[in-house]
Amino acid sequence: MVFKLYIDSSFKRETGGSVSDSEFSIELPHPLQVNGKAFVDTCLVPNVFYNIREDNNRIHLVEDVNNSPNFRIVYIAPGQYNVHTLKDAMVTALNSGRVIAGQYQVTYHRFSNKYDINNLDQTDKFALYPIAWFNQFADLWNGGAASNHQVDPKNLRDSGFVTGFASGGINQQSAPNAKIDALECPNLQPYSQLFLRSSLGDGYSAIGPDGSSDIIRRIVVGGTPMNGVIVDQHGLPYDSVPMGRPREITTLSFRLTDADGKTVDMLGHHISFSIIFIADGE
């Protein structure tokens, strides 16, 4: 027998764990005997995500004040940005709490689609530390920074992949009025893919980018515009989830994450999808 289950996070239930539209559980109206396989059908997810979030909003820099380095971590305010509003937010973040005299400036170049950063201070210099550098030399930063500015190379929360300042070595301002150019273009799509995880599967049918084994559906965001609805209809017969041995289910838990396994914030909006259960031999 083929059985269909329609899921909407607005019908989530208190089951003793997290309760949000990104991490929730549902209770079935009656126990369901399952075997064979399950297939997650069309997923509807509002693309309301921030491209700058608390997990990717940092800029790491050092201000060389009279040859006495001042290590700083500045924070871009979380939100939805385009190339122009992100430029303004970077300026606000860089100038908040600076210890060198000159104002930071950020310029967006339309034809190259890249940013540069400079400071008009005539005496002091500054340097940006991109995420690529931290992946190899985080201990050098941690050896020179104040104790409250230590970094975890496995959880950098760096903004470089959004702003374009992710690659290269230390981007040093070589002289007063010199600028630091981004090596990459800004990427303002919050996510290119999402992963729906659940207690439904047997844990052996899929392995995610982060090594996890509870993924039941990859959701392709693609070019869905900001604040549009992601309608992911892509599915192949082999995207099914095996049930393993026959079992009875009364509740199911779900979690929507990024490729790193971090739960995404739906900002109060609901997600929905359907599950088709197909018994062995069907």
Domain locations in the chain as residue ranges: 2-49+190-278, 58-181
Separation CA 259–CA 194 (nearest Å)? 7
Within 13 A of 279's CA, how many CA atoms are on the CB side? 8
Per-residue confidence (pLDDT) for residue 191, from 0 to 100: 94
Other Cβ atoms less than 10 A from the Cβ of 262: the count is 13
* pLDDT (average), residues 5-22: 83
Q: pLDDT class for 33, splitting at 50, 70, 90? A: confident
CB 63 within 8 A of CB 126: yes
What's residue 147's pLDDT? Answer: 64
Helix (H, G, I), strand (E, B) or coil at 282: coil
Assess contact for 272 and 9: CB atoms under 8 A: yes
| Res 178 pLDDT > 90 | no
> What pLDDT, in 10s, does the model give residues 229-259?
999 986 677 788 887 778 888 899 999 999 9
CB 60 within 8 A of CB 141: yes
Bigger pLDDT: 66 vs 165: 165
Tell me the average pLDDT across 102-116: 95
DSSP 263: B
% of the chain residues with pLDDT over 70? 93
User: What is the structure's pLDDT at 16?
Assistant: 58
CATH 3.40.50.150 for the 2-49+190-278 domain, yes or no: no
Q: Determine the pLDDT at residue 36.
A: 84
Look at residue 246 in the predicted model and tell me its pLDDT: 81
Q: Which residues, including other chains, have CB under 8 Å from residue 97's CB and lie 6 or more apart?
A: 72, 74
Q: What is the pLDDT of residue 175?
A: 61
Q: Hey, what are 191's tokens?
A: 């996510």
C-alpha distances out from residue 219 to 46, 102, 213, 234, Å: 12, 46, 16, 8
- Report pLDDT digits (tens) over 158-175: 999 999 999 877 777 656
Of 10-24, 187-201, 259-273, give the lowest mean pLDDT range: 10-24
| pLDDT in the model for residue 1 | 66
**Mean pLDDT, residues 148-157 taken together:** 83
What would the mean pLDDT of 215-242 be, rounded to a whole number?
87
- Residues whose CB falls within 8 Å of the CB of residue 231, separated by 6 or more in sequence, listed in order: 42, 43, 44, 224
Confidence (pLDDT) at 222:
85
Q: Is the pLDDT of residue 261 over 70?
A: yes
**Which pLDDT score is estimated for 138?**
86
* pLDDT surpassing 70 at residue 215: yes
pLDDT at 58 over 80: yes
Counting residues of the chain whose pLDDT is more than 90, the rounded percentage is 49
